[in-house]
Structures are given as C-alpha cells and as structure tokens.
Structure 1
C-alpha cells in the first residue's frame, strides 16, 4: 500500500538535480515566507523546489498546517501581501482563485485527500481560511503539479494512494499514531483535488425561502431540493408537481409545474413561465412578482399569476388587492378582488377571472399530508420485509420508540436482545414522518452502542440521517472499536474478557470497519486489516467525492455502503445513487465487533488536542445486513423510505 521515496546516499540531495536544494534550505525558505522575510530570488528557488519534489511539497504542507494552527490559536498575523507577491497574485485574485476552487489551500489538500482520523485534524476546520491565503501563493507557482489527476473516480488504497486512518500500525495489533511511518505518496488520493472542496458559501448561503412541502415534485437541476431545504437566490425550474415555498418575508407561494422562476430575494420573484399563487401576510406586504411586461406589488392579498406558452402574463386577485407598477416603481393601476388583467401585445386589458390552475396553500398542505401518510404505510410494509430477511443482522426502525427507553430494539427476525443498541445521552426527535421517531445526537458523548460478533463475508450498512452541523473535519457514523482502546488494559478484573475479545479481533481478517462523514459531505469508509504475510499494510480507505447533499440542512438523506467479499467490490450510495465504487485486492471476511453509532471514544491525548468524532444531527432507521445489496435494492430502499 505504501510507496517509498526515491533516495540516494545523500539524504539532503534529490536525484537528477544538478542544482540540488537540501531539506534544511527548504525549511529555511518556507519559514522565511511565513515570517515575511523571503527575497524574490529565494521565492523563485522555493517554487522550483516545490515543483520538482513531492517530498518538499509534503514538508511545505506540514509547516503550513503547524503555522496556521498556531496563528489561529494565538492570533498571529500572516503576511498575506508579501506571500502573494512571491507568486505575482494580488489578494483579490487569490481570493477569487480560492473561491472558484482553482487553487486548493493546504488544509484542503490534506483534509480532502486523506482519510485519517488523526489528533491534528481538529485544527483543520477552524484554520481553513487562515492557511488558505498563505498556501495560494505557492499553489499558484506549482499549479497542480502536486498530484496528477488521471481520473475523476475516487480511488481506494488499492491504487497505492491513501493516508492512514485513525491510526497506523506500529509493530502491534493496536492502531497508534496516524502519521507514524506514513509515506509522502500515501498522503494523497488520486482524483481528490478535482473540485474537492465545498466553500463556506455553499454551506451558509443567504436564504430567501424554504420549501414547505411538495407533491411529486420533479426538478430540472442536478441537486433536487426537498421539503425543509433552504433556497438561496437563483433560478428554479419545476418540471412537474406542486411545491409550497415559504419566503422569509412572510409570504407563502405555491408553484405548479411546469414552471420556471427566479428567486431574486425574499421580497421579489421573476416568473418566466408557469403559474404561482401567493398568500401574503401583514408582514409580507410589498412582495413583488415580475413577468415580462408586468410588475405586480402586493398590497395585502392573495393572488395568482400565470405565464402561458405565448409568454403573455396575467394576474388574478383572489382577495384584497395588488398594484401594477411602472418601470420607475410607481403604481399605475390597482386590481381588486375577483378581477384579472393580462398583458398582450404590449397592452394591458381585462381578462375573465378564474381561480382554476392556482392551487391554494391549504390544498397543497392537505394533499402533501395524504401523500406522506401513504408513503409511511408503504415504508412500514417494506421495513417488515427487511426485518424478516434472514440476512438482516441489525434493523433499528425506531417505529415504537418511547422517550423513556434506554435502548433501541433490534427488529430483525433473527436477532436476540444482545443486539439491541444502548442509548448513551441521545434523545428522541421527529423522524421522517409525523409521529415517527428518530435518534438525535447533540455532542457531549451522545452515541448508540451495539455489537455484531459474527464474521461476515459481505455487508451492507444503510441509514437515514439529517446533518445539523459540521463543526469538525470528520464525524463518526458507524465506528468500530479495537479491544485495547475499549477495554481498560490496566484493569485486572477485565483480563479474561479482554483476552477473549483480543483473540477474536486478532483472528479476524478485516478487524475494524469505520464509516464516517467528511465536513465536505464526502463519505469515508476505513477498513483495518493486518495480513499475516504482510506486516506493513493496515488501513484501507475509500472516500467519495464531496457531496453538497450531505451538508447541514433539514433534509433527510439515505446513505449506504456495501462490501461484497466474493466479488471483491465496495460501493457507496447517496439517496439511492451509487456515488463511488472500488475493486478491492482481497475478499476477506470482516468482523464488525463492538460499534458506536454517532461517536467514538477518544483517549486522553486526543482529548487534550480537542479531537472528537461526534455526529451532530439525527438518524432514522439503521440496517446492517450480512449480504451486499444490489444497486436496485438500495434504490428501492431510498424510494420507499423517502418522506
């Protein structure tokens, strides 16, 4: 799995370089850069060294990480202007490059391309912007020479490009320091630099409205909005179905597909085609809907607007009144209840009033509730089928969960009470449907504890989750725990229990499985294995590309991972779609062992460093199967379970 560096008898020289630069000089130049003392000719020499040597690029990333972490904690200044001057960029151009993802900051290169759960990762989320500017200058010099991206498909460690997980093996069966013995080539994953970062604006874009409810909505866009999603300004195209938008100004709007409209602000919409109906509260007076040749301002009312195939807009006032305004914003005509006007051939004229085609907010809500009830019953039927499947090892439906319960019952037909999950700190919250429960994780050690002792040749893990916060680089979803960390090695009374668990752990081919979520929305799967004939290999890593669907929102998302031992395949899925797959070098059986959902314990060193693996959000339904589900089966689980 690891790749070694090229070397010769002189460790300070790079092979094939007549004008060699030593590591000591590289350290001096980088420190000079960060101390704002680098001369122009030294900057050129540093850029040349970084272009030519992967080892020096790794040194650079290490120093940037350390400096950015200290700068963040101690409020040190970073010499932005001097750093940018070395690359010929001004600050605005550098910021634009960062925002457009043309240049990746050091913390991005490290965090997005590695799969580690190291003690140093806690700094990366907070110092991203601090390190970014300092990194941009040299990144501009080296362009993307750091990694040659040959394929957009995420690759696992089978390609020889991965970083150690929670830890790397260091001569024992217990994972230790993640950075120990990690080769430079292992710190990067092919394909990880192609649009690998979701910028903060993507997480926290200013919202103008929220999707209140929807019925059979089909959107003409790659990222499908769903009920509860916050919408920013921009274009929406609804191919079919009904949607209720709740604007932050106090206006509710129903949109009936097909329709195309632009959300310009919480106070303004441009209707290009289709029909909308607006119910305006007192707080929302002054809400504006524009179309070609027509500009309508609400005066406290309920009205509908339509733009048909001819492109001629019309407005129908259902109650109250609206004002048509001119280009200067001055009222030129008021239209009152049960009146309608149409703009045709540049002329405004009366047209027969009708509510037909303008679905009310109340009707959308009622129809949406009926659809949800139908979907809920369909999910219950499908959930019963999963529970009765003899390959289902764990099925936490949370259907009959009460607030006083101290454990979650495993509904799998073949299950025993030993596979019920213990609730530690979590509480109940609303699930995917009214009356359905979910488990809420709010930090502070919240987790579910469970155990799956029998080795499995294959595996499927599925869950529905709602991400509420990304306050750390990595969050634990389903985390295996090794015996030396879980059991107190100094407690003599645990001797027999610890020895039995260690024997099972050591005899397993795949000893640990850890499934997590990167801050960027990328899914991470780590598997720990130590073949008897290979003392070097340990963690195998499988990371998807970043996915904006899995950033904080009120949306419920379905995620799944499958491991097919006989076929030697691993796949990960988001909302029924396969987002990444890998061919593995082995078909070993795996042992899940003791697991934590939503967290993983940390030792004192990690506590001192501020490391956590806490998930912040809610989880509704968890499935673990001893077989690899097909892509069609996972798609069916998503379709039936979608609220």
Structure 2
C-alpha cells in the first residue's frame, strides 16, 4: 500500500471497493480512471487491492484456506487483510500461480494507463452493451433488466399459418406483442389479448394493437370473439368504433369503406360526429345484422356473412393441414441430413418406445458407440403433436454419448424448448470436464449463447448478447453454432438468423470424447457444476464442417413448427 503519511483519497478507496464488489454505478469507472491517471498513489493502491482481491478469490474458490481467511477477515487491520491468504502454509506451485495472477492484473492496469488503447482494462460498467464473460456473475441489475424485459405485452400470437410480416421477420407463434403498429403481408394469424379477446387476422392487413381492450384496423379482415371477461373490447375503424357487448363480430376494412358483421350476440356501433368526436351512445346491432359504410359517411345495412371470415374451427383445421405439410417438408430435409457425409451424428428423437433408454443415432456412421444413453429424461411431445422429444427437468437428467475424432470445423444444430433460465449456465452439448480442444455449447441465465473451447491454458469464450428472452420460454427454437476453424470465426444463430459473430482467438482442433446432451459431468471442476437443462430437445445434429448462413436458414425453415 502507499507509504505512511501519503493517504489515498477516501473517494478512491470507496470507488475501488464498490467496483470490486460489483455494485458500482456506470460513472464510477470513469471517475476512478481519472483518479488513477492523476495520482500514482491511487494506481498503487488499486494494484495492491486487486492483488488481495485476486488472492482471496483464488483461495476461497479452492476452499483450502477458508478458516485462516475467516479468522483474518474478522479483524480491522489492513495488514491482516493482506496477509490473510498467506496465513496457512502453501506449496510452491500454488504461491507461484497466485503471484502470476497478481502480477498479470497489475501489469494490465499499468499498461492501460500508459498506452491509449481501445481495450478497457477496468471492468465494464453495468449495463454496457458488451457480452459479459460467463464466469463473471452478471450484475444484479443485468438480471433484473433481463427478468423484467418484455413486461407490458398486451397480446400474443397464438397461432400462425404462413405468416409474413413487413419489417418483422421474427414474429411467429408464441411471440408476445406490445402496443404497436403491424402489417401482415401474407397468411393468417390468431391473436389472443391478455384481456381474453381473440382476433383472427387475414392478410393483407394493417392494424395497431392499442391496449388489452382495444385494436385499430386500417386494412384487412378481423374476426373477433369476446368472452365474458373481455366485454367492452373495442375495434376502431377509419369510419366507426365497434364496441363489444358480449359477442362475436367481424370487421373488413377496404379502400375507403368498412363493413361490420355481427355473428353472435350484440355490438354497439358508434359513429364520429362532424367535429370528429365519437358519439358514445351509438346504435345496437344484433346477430345477423351488419353495416357497410364509406369514407363519405354513406351507409347501408347488410346481412352478416359468417362464411366470409375464417372462424376458430376453420382456422384450427387450416393449421392442422399446414402442420402436416410442414411435417413432410421436415422429414424430407431430415432424411437428406441423415445421409449427408458431412454429418457427424444425427439424432431425430423419433421411433422410441416409452421404455427405451437409448437415443438412436441416424447419421451416416450408424454405429452403437454413437448412440446416446438416456439417463433420467422422459419421452415427451416435440415441436408437433406427433413428434417425440426428450424432456430434461431434474439435475440428473442427461444423454451420454461418445464422439471420436478431431475436427477443424463443427456445426451444432438443435431444436430446443427452453422452460427456464434457472441456471447460471444451462447445457446443450458439453464434453466431460474441459480439456484441450473440447467444446461446451450452452446458454446463460440472461439468455446469452455461449460456445467455450479449451485452447491452450484457457477456455476461449464465444459469447453472444442476450438473444433469448423470457418471452421465448415454452416456445420451440432452432439454435445453431458454427465453429469455422479455417474461416477463423464462430457464429451463433437463432431461428435461422445470425445473431453474433466473433473472431476465433486461437484456432484449435475440436474433439469430444465422452459428451453429454443437456448436462455436464464436471470431472473435478468446482465452478458452476450444476448446468442441467430445463427444457426439451427433439432434434440434434452435429456436422464436421462449417455450414453457411443459407444452409442454417434452410434447417430452420424446413423444421419450423
């Protein structure tokens, strides 16, 4: 620490302590940087503090010197704090390793202040737009932001048939919707509002979701079913305001005209007055009645036409037909992949009896050693009602397999349903332990995709931003990760879209050996050993080549439910 009589400013001590504890605000980092640049005492104190911090972290993590550390931390003497990690006798190799940790941290700090460089050595401020290292526990604010993100949704896409949205390619069945304007270019969708109202929208359609009790339509067909809990649901059109009174009604909006059809129950039709204010005491229309009105206010009665609009039963039948078509398309693509010579292994999770505990490998190398041993998992429903999947729930659930060979490139492809972000790290495919060249494909509790590859003395971590959200829970997703050794990049994909590309730090041949799906056998590792998946998997393919973007997109398109 600094020499006696040359006290370090208390503000600097407070900032360093807050940063070490992970509770600093974003402005603290810049303030500390300025103090370090202008006062050598602060630099020395910071280096010494991080030395102690690193030693304590190392010793406590090892668990070997905890009693001595606890005794020393019970005192208020600063010297005792510094000597806490040396209170017990340690062997030479441990002492050398900790010294290297401290020297490395100090040199990195000094270098960051002597050289103007784009790499910031001080910890990133909470909320910074960078992916955190998975071994650094996310700041509490990160977790809070992740767990509250998406609140405020007023509706959800319950079902979708061949839907195409303008500017929003990732909207699909299960996607939550907040108040927003939308344009459905093609297909049919069924919206369920949190109030309970159900709306079937036929393209082409333009509309705005306003609230749990309000929808504004400017083009298209909209059939609305309103249960008792949502009486009063409102549909706005350019010409009128339709207020539900416990009913089923439909609205069609064309160019300069609007039709309202009452299919069941009653509605109140409210007309705009000349000054633009809606007349709230409008007219009551009953079942079988309807009105057609143009933009000039000309209106005529019509007979409600039930068959002009897709109803819930018809929509369900159409959905079943579309699902069967999707199944045939998936089977054709899957069968091609199963005979693809670039496929390392291929699990379709199909054809198993409930009592079977073997996951059949259907790729080109159909040998017993590439089959999976099912441990604890239960057979369940997959992407479609007829599709099988394995459900991973308990911390012991896993599939064991052994994959021989070494590979310059590998592509991981998986259809997965995530049911919870309840682990710091959740396994998809992990090798036992983590030796040279062994990959770990998993995701974090804040929805980041991670491929870890042991290269040299450390693990190279290829970590995406938070691309999975709470809204994705319970929904089938296609995840892929491409390790392209010759190309020098790792790419993460979600539903056929590249979401993160990162340069490979140190090209390494990948090898698997004993490997698990949905869990991890740590082999003596102490950190985050519980990585069991909470969810389902119904397809997993490993390629010994790097697939390109078009090939990954095809896997998603042909397999999407």
d(CA) in 2 for partners of 1:286 and 1:636? 44
d(CA) in 2 for partners of 1:416 and 1:431? 25
Q: CA deviation at 1:375?
A: 0.9
Tell me the residue number matched to 2:242: 296
What is the CA deviation profile of residues 156-179 of structure 1, one whole-angstrom value per residue up to 9, with x for unaligned ones?
xxxxxxxxxxxxxxxxxxxxxxxx
Tell me the residue number matched to 1:428: 379
d(CA) in 2 for partners of 1:620 and 1:27? 53
What is the aligned counterpart of 2:34 among 44, 48, 60?
A: 48
Tell me the residue number matched to 1:517: 443
Tell me the residue number matched to 1:338: 288
d(CA) in 1 for partners of 2:533 and 2:20? 35
d(CA) in 1 for partners of 2:188 and 2:360? 38
**Contact residue 460 and residue 505 of structure 2 kept, 8 A:** no
d(CA) in 1 for partners of 2:248 and 2:48? 62
**Contact residue 215 and residue 368 of structure 1 kept, 8 A:** yes
Matches within 5 A, 1:580-595: 580-584=500-504, 587-595=507-515
Structure 1: gaps of 5 or more residues: 1-10, 14-19, 67-103, 133-197, 484-504, 531-536
Q: CA deviation at 1:397?
A: 0.4
d(CA) in 1 for partners of 2:394 and 2:166? 37
**Contact residue 223 and residue 309 of structure 2 kept, 8 A:** yes
Q: Structure 1 residues 633 and 46 mapped into 2: Cα distance closer, same or farther (>3 Å)?
A: closer
**Contact residue 561 and residue 572 of structure 1 kept, 8 A:** yes
Q: Is 1:408 paired with 2:359?
A: yes
Q: Structure 1 residues 418 and 277 mapped into 2: Cα distance closer, same or farther (>3 Å)?
A: same
Q: CA deviation at 1:568?
A: 3.5
**TM-score, normalised via structure 1 length:** 0.65
What is the aligned counterpart of 1:287 among 213, 218, 233?
A: 233
Q: Structure 1 residues 639 and 50 mapped into 2: Cα distance closer, same or farther (>3 Å)?
A: farther
Q: Is 1:317 paired with 2:262?
A: yes
Q: CA deviation at 1:285?
A: 2.9
Tell me the residue number matched to 2:323: 372
Q: Is 1:558 paired with 2:478?
A: yes
What is the aligned counterpart of 2:300 among 335, 350, 354?
A: 350
d(CA) in 1 for partners of 2:465 and 2:474? 22
**Contact residue 396 and residue 623 of structure 1 kept, 8 A:** yes
Q: CA deviation at 1:105?
A: 8.4
**Contact residue 429 and residue 440 of structure 1 kept, 8 A:** yes
Q: CA deviation at 1:260?
A: 2.1
d(CA) in 2 for partners of 1:564 and 1:116? 22
Q: Structure 1 residues 240 and 529 mapped into 2: Cα distance closer, same or farther (>3 Å)?
A: same
Matches within 5 A, 1:499-518: 510-518=436-444
Q: Is 1:631 paired with 2:557?
A: no
What is the aligned counterpart of 1:210 among 146, 150, 156?
A: 156
d(CA) in 2 for partners of 1:57 and 1:333? 78
Structure ID, larger Rg: 2
Tell me the residue number matched to 1:527: 453
Q: Structure 1 residues 346 and 47 mapped into 2: Cα distance closer, same or farther (>3 Å)?
A: farther
Q: CA deviation at 1:552?
A: 3.4
Q: Structure 1 residues 588 and 396 mapped into 2: Cα distance closer, same or farther (>3 Å)?
A: same
Higher strand proportion: 2
Q: CA deviation at 1:209?
A: 2.9
**Contact residue 175 and residue 471 of structure 2 kept, 8 A:** no
Tell me the residue number matched to 2:338: 387
Matches within 5 A, 1:132-281: 199-203=146-150, 205-222=151-168, 224-281=170-227
**Contact residue 514 and residue 525 of structure 1 kept, 8 A:** yes
**TM-score, normalised via structure 2 length:** 0.74
Q: Structure 1 residues 542 and 355 mapped into 2: Cα distance closer, same or farther (>3 Å)?
A: same
3-state SS of 2:395 partner? coil
d(CA) in 1 for partners of 2:173 and 2:308? 22
Tell me the residue number matched to 1:619: 537
Q: Structure 1 residues 549 and 116 mapped into 2: Cα distance closer, same or farther (>3 Å)?
A: closer
d(CA) in 2 for partners of 1:550 and 1:642? 20
Q: Is 1:116 paired with 2:134?
A: yes
Q: CA deviation at 1:45?
A: 6.8
Q: Structure 1 residues 372 and 549 mapped into 2: Cα distance closer, same or farther (>3 Å)?
A: farther
d(CA) in 2 for partners of 1:439 and 1:625? 21
Structure 2: gaps of 5 or more residues: 58-122, 272-276
d(CA) in 1 for partners of 2:470 and 2:29? 40
Aligned length: 475
Q: What is the alpha-carbon root mean square deviation over aligned residues?
A: 3.8
d(CA) in 2 for partners of 1:587 and 1:605? 24
**Contact residue 522 and residue 543 of structure 1 kept, 8 A:** yes
Q: CA deviation at 1:641?
A: 0.6
Q: Structure 1 residues 449 and 348 mapped into 2: Cα distance closer, same or farther (>3 Å)?
A: farther
What is the aligned counterpart of 1:464 among 415, 423, 448?
A: 415
**Contact residue 565 and residue 586 of structure 1 kept, 8 A:** no
Q: CA deviation at 1:305?
A: 0.8
